Structure 1
Amino acid sequence: MFTGVNKKKIYQLVLEQIQEGLSDGSLQKGGKLPTERELAQKLQVSRASIREALRVLDVLGIITSRHGGGNFINHRLERSLLEPFSIIYRSMNSSLPDILEIREILESQLVKTAARSINKKNLAELKNLGDQLEGADNIENWTKIDKKIHYEIIRASKNQLLIVILNSLSELFELQIKNLLKKIFNSRADRADLIKQHKKIIKAIEKRDEKNAELEMKNHFMFYKKH
């Protein structure tokens, strides 16, 4: 699994080995890495270099270090994407419409895949969430259910890479849209409109109408942009 390395930075090389291990199944999310001694021997570098590399990966959120217990691959690797996204978002003076546009582009395509490939179990869960959204009586539950609906649609597409990316964007999206969601929730008309939009998206998926599912998802994000 681990092989000798060249003159790249050690943490980059350890990361490459982790990526290869995750790809070929020899490593798993949440799984324990070899010891520092084993890594140093297999990568043909000093233990000090390995120790520093592991510190960097810990800071990046790729691994977690447990005192006396070793180093483990983060079982929620997608969380490690959130901080870089947040830094880039702030450093470039990006705005909420930027995030909305990215999500619209990705989700309007994924919803077509969901309409084509969703199974009965996912569809039943999606319809149940639509009903729950209609009955949500506070902003916390409403926001939580809204997020679950979008996640279920993304999950139905079965595109694992985009699931990770959109989950990270979703958390950043939530941080920036709190006031807008509160405004929508407190307006009976806007809340009813948003619930209706979700119902239309779910109905299009149920009918396996890819074109209409895409249209309704775009209308959904257009609603956010207008607010």
Structure 2
Amino acid sequence: MDETPTGPTGETEAEVRATATAPQKGTVTQRAIERIKGMISEGLLEPGQRLPTERDLAAQLGISRSSMREAIRALTVLGVLEARHGSGIYVTRLEAGDLLETFGVVADLTRGPRLVELLEVRRILESTATALAAARITPDRLAAVEKHLTAMNATDDPEEILAHDLAFHREIAVAAGNETMAAILDGLSSRTFRARVWRGYQEEGAFARTRREHAAIFRALAARDPEAARAAAAAHVGEVEEWLRSQVGPS
């Protein structure tokens, strides 16, 4: 079993990230986080730029150094800032997936009715991405999707099916040509998230059904039919969503 990385106080990396993403609303630290994010979005702090010292930035924002330290720690954990040993704190040069990686942490830690909500979001985005992919997919990317479909059909091993299921949908998300959407879907479709659903779903005899659903998605992609692709993807995620609703009960 893989070792889970832990922070200096013994928290797992996911727990540190979860804490960082949800500071108490209205606290001084939260306001400091929002101010720093605002400075970045307004161009007052540029990617790659070194932040003022903790003391100077705290004075500039009119808060204590301890609150500033917590704000910087939270933004560093999220990847918005980076600490360079002996040099200081810098604004990260971010790609779309860097900030959106937090979605994966949220998906991995979510339980109960909130898990259903995440599947609702995934159904909406994945059906859109699949429709876009049907219009934009290249022959090479389509061949990669087919390779994972064939591999899923050739095994009854849950771990192998899970791996190819994940790769199948990632290829489609990339084929859609929207990096931000692909990054969000990657977070909402993390291996941990899918594995938690699969553990129960496979007990319902879902392998044959999910193979049929993946085949329908592939046929729509091969036919370059966006609306058929949208419907097939929505039906696929919708099946899992409805099963999960039956497991968690009313919210």
Q: TM-score, normalised by structure 1?
A: 0.70
Q: Which residue type is aligned with residue 133 of structure 1?
A: M
Displacement, 1:94?
Answer: 1.9
Give the drift of 1:96: 4.0
Mapped to 2, the partners of 1:36 and 1:209 lie a distance apart of: 53
Shift in Å at residue 20 of structure 1?
A: 5.6
Separation (CA, whole Å) in 2 of partners of 1:218 and 1:132: 22
Work out whether 1:102 is the aligned partner of 2:121. Answer: yes
8 Å Cα contact 1:116-1:210 kept in structure 2:
yes
Tell me the C-alpha RMSD between the 2 structures: 3.6
Which residue, 213, 216, 223 being the options, matches 2:232?
216
1:149-206: CA deviation from partner (whole Å, max 9, x where unpaired): 112212211222222222222137426414224425xx4xx32331222122112111
1:192/1:69 Cα in 2 relative to 1: closer, same or farther (>3 Å)?
Answer: farther
Return closer, same or farther for 1:45/1:116 CA change in 2, 3 Å cut-off.
same
Alignment correspondent of 2:33: 11
CA distance in 1, matches of 2:220, 2:149: 13
Match of 1:126, as an amino acid? V
The farther-off stretch of 213-222 and 95-104 is 95-104
Q: Which residue of 2 aligns with 1:179?
A: 199
Amino acid aligned to 1:177 = V
Whether contact under 8 Å (1:36, 1:50) holds in the other structure is no
The range that moved more, 169-178 or 209-218, is 169-178
Q: How far did residue 118 of structure 1 move?
A: 1.4
Tell me the secondary structure at the aligned position of residue 77 of structure 1.
Answer: helix
Instruction: Verify the 8 A CA contact 1:78 1:165 in the aligned structure 2.
Output: yes
| CA distance in structure 2 between the partners assigned to 1:206 and 1:197 by the alignment | 14
Structure 1 gap segments, 5+ residues each: 1-7
Q: Does the C-alpha gap of structure 1 residues 13 and 118 become closer, same or farther in structure 2, counting only changes over 3 Å? A: same
Q: Please, what TM-score do these two structures have when normalized by structure 2?
A: 0.65
Aligned counterpart, 1:130? 149
Match in the other structure for 1:166 = 185
Task: Give the Cα separation in 1 of the matches to 2:106 and 2:149.
Answer: 32
Q: 2:26 is matched with which residue?
A: none
Unaligned runs of 5+ in 2: 1-29, 244-251
Q: Answer whether contact 1:114 1:205 (CA < 8 A) is retained.
A: yes
**Are 2:213 and 1:197 aligned?**
yes
Does the 8 Å contact 1:62/1:80 carry over to 2? no
Contact 2:33 2:71 in 1 (8 A): yes
Are 1:65 and 2:83 matched, yes or no?
Answer: yes
